[in-house]
Structure 1
Amino acid sequence: MKRSCVTLLGAILMGLMITGATHGADRKVPQSQAEVTLSYSPIVKKAAPAVVNIYTKRVIKTRSRSPFFDDPFFQRFFGQGLGGMPRERIERSLGSGVIVRENGTIVTNHHVIDGADEIVVALSDRREFSAEVILDDAQTDLAVLKIDGVKGRLPVLEFADSDEVEVGDLVLAIGNPFGVGQTVTSGIVSALARTQLQLSNYQSYIQTDAAVNPGNSGGALIGMDGRLLGINSAIFSRSGGSNGIGFAIPANMVHFVVTSALSGGKVVRPWFGANGQAVTSEIAESLGLDRPGGVLVDNIYPDGPADKAGIEQGDVILSVDGKEVFDPQAIRYHIGLERVGGEVPVEILRGDDRRTVMMPLAPAVEDPPRDITVLEGNHIFTGLKVANLSPAYADELGLSMFDKGVIVLSVDRVSPVRRLGVVRPGDFVESVNGNKVETVDQLQDLLNDVDRDMSFGIRRQGRLIECGVRGNSSYYCR
């Protein structure tokens, strides 16, 4: 009996090996001791020279704090003049990048080079070059750089089709963790289409357990064929070290951004033109579905792509271009990979009717134009940077396409409202002296007519705050 059980177990294991081997020519489990002792070194030798180290420098300007800064008597006479003497300090950071063109085109993370005054790229052969940014796309957390003066062709990594990646695939992560120098770690693909990380506007991350640490950002995640599967971008960690949960931007999105950079230097994406929510178990039960899945459409932008495709409120979006979606971020990602122009098939469920509609691929509209303006004049709003919000600009800022009005982008440190603390970046200016504000031009016209006493309304996270100011000094809000 014991021998028959062993024989049966051996047959099962052999069957599993055969199944693994026949699943795909490129995927199989080790079947001998020789295969167990195989090395990754040929892959690393091929891929590692195309991974670079990136060093950035940023000049931070500050002011020394006067010991009288908080004294009301001195504040009355000197105001912001008590800020002290200007000072400068140098902030340095490091990251990684991947050469994707032989002429010196490099892709890295937006957060690696964000705000940098100087960018230096160090190749694997220790040569160093200054780099310029040819595209910086905060919405995907990607940036494309270019280095000049390189003699000969540089090694590059070819893009893989990240849609073909499967959970369990072996992967290598190459980068410069903690600045110790180029490092290779190994692991597997732990999960796909991670969309709830709030790291960028277009999320569908590849999760891996290959060790990724600070400094790996912008480095390569490669497969066993040595091609680029993704750009390592983030880790999930409470300590700052690797916990075996790293996230990479898929190669298909990276390729889209690189192509955009080389064909005009600007990313233009289609938009969906509708809002929705993930279909949970409770929603699925209320809709009579046998399982949760898809996105329930809540609101549709008039005359937007979803509206033109005939999608209606209450429809459930099941897939985009043949790819299943389970939350709004997935819809955004898959549509964001398409080129403007043409159409994309969207599968929907309307009641018991399952159908496919063709949605036009058009960019988000910028109506009204953003009209970014720094307000000036003899009023408390002096020094505010404001803009008109449109679906296109809301998309860039990560806001709802249905938000409208005049948004506050920043508040200058010497602005009177900064001192009073009544207006913050992200607020909407709703009214001035009882007059509704809809555009920047209208706001400027109203401010030109105000005297030292004025009232205004601010919308903050959906809540209306009404304020009044007397003589640029005393104020109330309710």
Structure 2
Amino acid sequence: MTRFASLIAAASLALASTATLVLAQAPQRQAPSSRAEVQLSFAPVVKRAAPAVVNVYGARVEQVRNAFFDDPIFRRFFGDRGGGQGPQREEVARSLGSGVVADASGLVVTNNHVVENMTEVKISLADRREFEVDIVLRDPRTDLAILKIRNPPSDLAVLPIGDSDALEVGDIVLAIGNPFGVGQTVTQGIVSALARTQVGVADFQSFVQTDAAINPGNSGGALVDMSGNLVGINTAIFSRSGGSHGIGFAIPTAMARLVLDSARAGSPTVRRPWFGATLQTVSPELLESLGLARPTGALVVTIVANSPAAKAGLRVGDLITAVDGREIENPDGFGYRFGIRPIGGLATLAVTRERRNLIIPVALEIAPAGPRDAEKITGISPFQGATVSSVSPALADQLRVSHRLSGVVITEVEPGSPAAQVGLQPGDFVLGVNGSEIKAPRDLQQATAQRARLWRFQIDRQGQVINSMMGG
């Protein structure tokens, strides 16, 4: 062996020996035992939380008309003979989401949009056991629903509910759910922002924003903190493609707790307080007159007689800046903070009136019953799929429309319906259709029962009158 070959062989042996020594001395991996160590692995948090996160499957049977009868050539020659009726076939519509087991009795929190209109709902646990469930409460205003497992197992894992108000921007959080139906998946991120509004998926908006990857199928799943406690229900993403772009939103547990407590009490609806005033955002033009350095708070613009707001002594022009010591940025922030309070007792409002700071207590009262005349429009028209009702103070509060308006208001629009396709929205007031004045829901039902080749209608949207015309 040459000297060069000898050196190579020696070096190789040295490296081999070193590698052997390093491998022999590598410490055995141990589970983190402190908060500092858990930063290196989220496994202990996942082991605590994941068993209580379930997959939710919904299904319903739909009667679907053959697309041939909607073909333009067919309609050109035969028109709409049969009143739009044609041979129909059954199709099964399915939904996919996630849920969180909230107590040992089998109550599961999920999103309303996961189970809405579903006639059959099942869940599967992390260990793949499947159970049928009943929908015991749906609350479209928060996009939350409560399910009840039939015959829950004795070893059912429950996820402790944490305090979403204790979250801070920058906190590490985990999102657990069933994205795209691939199976339970855990993603990690931080709290990107708090009290996000203008998201547009529910009436009560004060979302936790996170960059943890959330995708279709994650809806209703858990957002957990580093103690393994539930701090949010994953609900929506901001995306142009349908996939995660690092902007996800979760409903805080402070809101979920109110809905869950209503279900535990056996109520089919959520009992929440009403305020009885119309609020608006502070515009830059109002800053100087209000003596503010920046736009914040909710400005009172109308007050309903004998409402909690009126009884408390609030006035038009008052600026509400905080509820129970928590600052609010806009009317959505007020609606959330006031809306999560249970019925009974008082809420304390911080109010600025003519540059004086006041503390005003407001009674937490349930809204008075409104008119029971809601109707879903069924006639083939631009309003088909919309639910309308006569307006009441409580309904005006719910839809956040002016209490000065009267008449017929759209309260719900079925996704994918003609009403949704033409852009009708909850809160739109229907003023007239094809020359007929609309004063009650039955007026709209009658006006749309007649087939028309041309539809002319007028709506009021947030004070702006819109005139529309379209073919029948």
TM-score normalized by the length of structure 2: 0.78
Q: State the 1:460 CA deviation.
A: 4.4
> Aligned runs of 1:341-356 on 2, under 5 Å?
341-356=344-359
Instruction: Report how far residue 248 of structure 1 moved.
Output: 0.7
1:70–1:155: structure 2 CA closer, same or farther, 3 Å change rule? same
What per-residue deviation string (whole Å, max 9, x for no partner) do you get for residues 375-424 of structure 1? 999xxx99996532213334555655444213467999xxxxx9xx9997
Counterpart amino acid of residue 104 in structure 2: E
Q: Give the drift of 1:207.
A: 0.9
Is 1:297 aligned to 2:300, yes or no? Answer: yes
Find the counterpart in structure 2 of residue 391 from structure 1. Answer: 393
Structure 1 counterpart SS, 2:45: helix
In the alignment, the residues of structure 1 paired with residue 441 and residue 155 of structure 2 have an alpha-carbon distance, to the nearest angstrom, of: 50
Q: Which residue does the alignment assign to 1:166?
A: 168
Q: Which moved more, 1:123-132 or 1:270-279?
A: 270-279
1:284 matched to 2:287? The reply is yes
Deviation (angstroms), 1:291: 3.1
Alignment partner of 1:136 is 2:138: yes
Is this contact kept in 2: 1:103–1:153, CA < 8 A?
A: no
Query: How do residues 114-193 of structure 1 correspond to structure 2 at under 5 angstroms?
Result: 114-193=116-195
Aligned residue in 1 for 2:316: 313
Task: Give how far 1:361 is off.
Answer: 1.3
What residue is the counterpart of 1:238 in the other structure?
Answer: 240
1:271/1:332 contact within 8 Å kept = no
1:374-413 maps to which residues of 2 (within 5 A)?
A: 386-396=388-398, 399-407=401-409
Q: Provide closer, same or farther for how the CA distance between residues 430 and 100 of structure 1 changes in structure 2, counting only shifts above 3 A.
A: same
Deviations 1:149-183 (A, max 9, x none): 23314110111111111111111111111111111
Counterpart in the other structure of 1:14: none
5+ residue gaps, structure 2: 1-33
1:366 and 1:315 map into 2 onto residues whose CA distance is 27
8 Å CA contact 1:135, 1:261 repeated in 2: yes
Whole-angstrom CA distance in 1 between matches of 2:425 and 2:318: 35
SS at match of 1:230: strand
Deviations 1:245-283 (A, max 9, x none): 111100111111000111123201112222222234442
Residue 285 of structure 1, CA deviation: 2.5
- Pairs within 5 Å for 1:31-42: 35=37, 38-42=40-44
What corresponds to 1:112 in structure 2?
114
Corresponding residue for 2:30? none
Unaligned runs of 5+ in 1: 1-27, 413-417, 468-474
Query: Which stretch of the first structure deviates more once superposed, 124-133 or 293-302?
Result: 293-302
- Matches of 1:422 and 1:220 in 2, distance apart? 35
Structure 1 residue identity aligned to 2:245: N
Contact preservation (8 Å) 2:282, 2:295: yes
The equivalent position to 2:327 in structure 1, one of 324, 329, 335, is 324
AA of the residue aligned to 1:75: G
CA contact (8 A) 1:168 1:189 kept: yes
SS at match of 2:198: coil
Counterpart of 1:97? 99
Q: Is the 8 A contact 2:302 2:403 kept in 1?
A: no
- Alpha carbons 1:408, 1:425 under 8 Å: kept: yes
Aligned counterparts of 2:412 and 2:359: Cα–Cα separation in 1: 44
TM-align CA RMSD: 3.8
Query: Matches of 1:386 and 1:170 in 2, distance apart?
Result: 44
Identity %: 47
Q: Distance in 1 between matches of 2:50 and 2:430?
A: 52
Number of residues paired by the alignment? 422
- Matching residue of 2:78: 74
Partner SS for 1:42: helix
1:440 CA drift (Å)? 5.0
1:74 aligned partner, one-letter code = F
What are the within-5 Å matches in structure 2 for residues 198-209 of structure 1? Answer: 198-209=200-211
Q: Distance in 1 between matches of 2:458 and 2:244?
A: 43
Mapped to 2, the partners of 1:71 and 1:227 lie a distance apart of: 58
**Which SS does the other structure have where 1:101 is aligned?**
coil
Question: Structure 1 321/242 Cα, relative in aligned 2: closer, same or farther at 3 Å?
Answer: same
* Partner amino acid, structure 1, of 2:115: I
Q: Is the 8 A contact 2:290 2:355 kept in 1?
A: no
TM-superposed deviation, 1:437:
5.6
Superposed CA deviations along residues 87-146 of structure 1, whole A, max 9, x for unmatched, are: 121222211100001121100011111111211100011100111100010100100001
Deviates more, 1:238-247 or 1:136-145: 238-247
Distance 1:80 1:72 in 2: 15
Per-residue CA shift, 1:177-227, capped at 9, x if unaligned?
A: 111111111121111100121111001011111111111111111111111
> 8 Å contact 1:106–1:146 — kept in the other structure?
yes
Report the CA distance shift for 1:179/1:303 in structure 2 as closer, same or farther (over 3 A).
same
Task: Write the distance in 1 (CA, Å) between the matches of 2:360 and 2:136.
Answer: 37
2:340 aligns with one of 337, 340, 363: 337
Native 8 Å contact 2:38 2:44 kept in 1: no
Partner Cα distance (2:59, 2:289) in 1? 55
Tell me the amino acid that sits aligned with residue 364 of structure 2.
L
2:59 corresponds, among 34, 57, 77, to 57
